[in-house]
Amino acid sequence: MIDPKIKTIAFDADDTLWVNETIFDATQERFFKLLEQYVPEEVLRKHLFQTEIKNLKYFGYGVKGFILSMIETAVELTEGLVRGGDIQQIIDWGREMIEHPVENIEGVEQALKTLSQHYQLMVITKGDLLDQESKLARSGLADYFDKVEIVSDKTAAQYQEILNRHDIKAEEFLMIGNSLKSDVLPVLEIGGQAVHIPFSSTWEHETVAPAEESHHQIVAFASVTEFVKTIG
């Protein structure tokens, strides 16, 4: 029997509904190759990550902030010697990332089709508004969702604000996502339930210490519908 306690199920988007991080990883490797004549990869990798974190408060999450951080890293680490053509190449990679075909994760659509018959479904994702709206539209999954929230960050306070605004009780709310830091721990903090579905690649910023991992976990999206029946 479908669990009567949970009434609303929300899903992260990137690397939960569709593939995302591997696109960033591939572009990052191209960036390292582009600048290998100037700087060793280990230096580039460390500096790029630090620049991305610094820039989150200015540009937020997503492709645009990533591209700007790569350009800033290139200028700083080459002391301004990076060529204009290389900057243009980085910008072009950003366009390619934004236009990349949306690849839904296996089992997603069937699970959403089943769950939408019993629950209110939501998307709660962070990132660039235009990019996330475009990916949701191109995914073919939009019609399964009753509500969509695209936010600048995912904190306990942000989740609580969303629940309050939509008149959802925390004890009747389940969040499903690939990030312990963004999709699991903040929801547990406000009294909701959360399911972690690990993705093959996770951005370093989204990782947490193993001691903090206290949550439901399943290994494949295809198992979501059966799992939801078991939680109380």
Per 3-state DSSP, the chain is made up of helix, strand and coil in percentages (nearest 5) of 55, 15, 35
Structural domain span for residue 83: 21-99
The residue from 78, 99, 120 where one domain ends is 99
Residues 188 and 134 in one domain: yes
Token readout for 65 is 């902030």
Q: Which of 99, 116, 139 corresponds to the end of one domain? A: 99
Alpha carbons 190 and 106: distance in angstroms, whole number: 30
Instruction: Mark whether 86 and 193 lie in a shared domain.
Output: no
Same domain, 117 and 45: no
Rounded to two decimals, the pTM is 0.87
pLDDT for 228 = 73
Residue 1: the pLDDT is 37
> Total domain count for the chain?
2
Residues 158 and 87 placed together within one structural domain of the fold:
no
* Local mean pLDDT, 10-residue blocks, the chain (232 residues): 76 95 95 94 95 94 95 96 96 97 94 94 95 97 98 95 97 93 92 86 59 58 69 54
Q: Is residue 222 part of a domain?
A: yes
**What CATH number did the domain enclosing 135 receive?**
3.40.50.1000
pLDDT of residue 198: 85
Residue 29 placed within a domain: yes
Q: Are residues 58 and 162 in the same domain?
A: no
Residues 44 and 115 reside in one and the same domain: no
Instruction: Choose the final residue of a domain: 84, 99, 114.
Output: 99
Helix runs in the chain, H state only? 21-34, 41-59, 63-77, 84-99, 108-115, 129-139, 156-165, 185-189, 224-228
Burial 45-59 (b: 16+ CB within 10 A, else e): bebbbebbeeeeeeb
Owner of token pair 């301004």: 80
Nearest to 25 by CA among 199, 221, 209: 199
What was the pLDDT predicted at 214?
53
Answer yes or no: is 188 within a domain.
Answer: yes
- Are 111 and 84 within one domain? no
Pairing of strands 193-196, 8-11: unpaired
Residues 223 and 113 in one domain: yes
Among 98, 176, 197, CA closest to 138: 98
Together in a domain, 13 and 119: yes
Strands lying side by side in the sheet with 120-126: 147-151, 120-126, 8-11, 173-177, 193-196, 216-217
2 within a domain of the structure (yes/no): no
> Whole-angstrom Cα distance, residue 43 to residue 50?
11
pLDDT for position 25: 94
Closest CA to 143 of 166, 162, 116: 116
Do residue 90 and residue 127 come from a single domain?
Answer: no
Question: For residue 216, which phi and psi values (nearest 5 degrees)?
Answer: -75, 145
Regarding whether 114 and 224 lie in a shared domain, the answer is yes
Dihedral sign for Cα atoms in the order 150, 10, 26, 37: positive
Is 1 within the bounds of a domain?
no
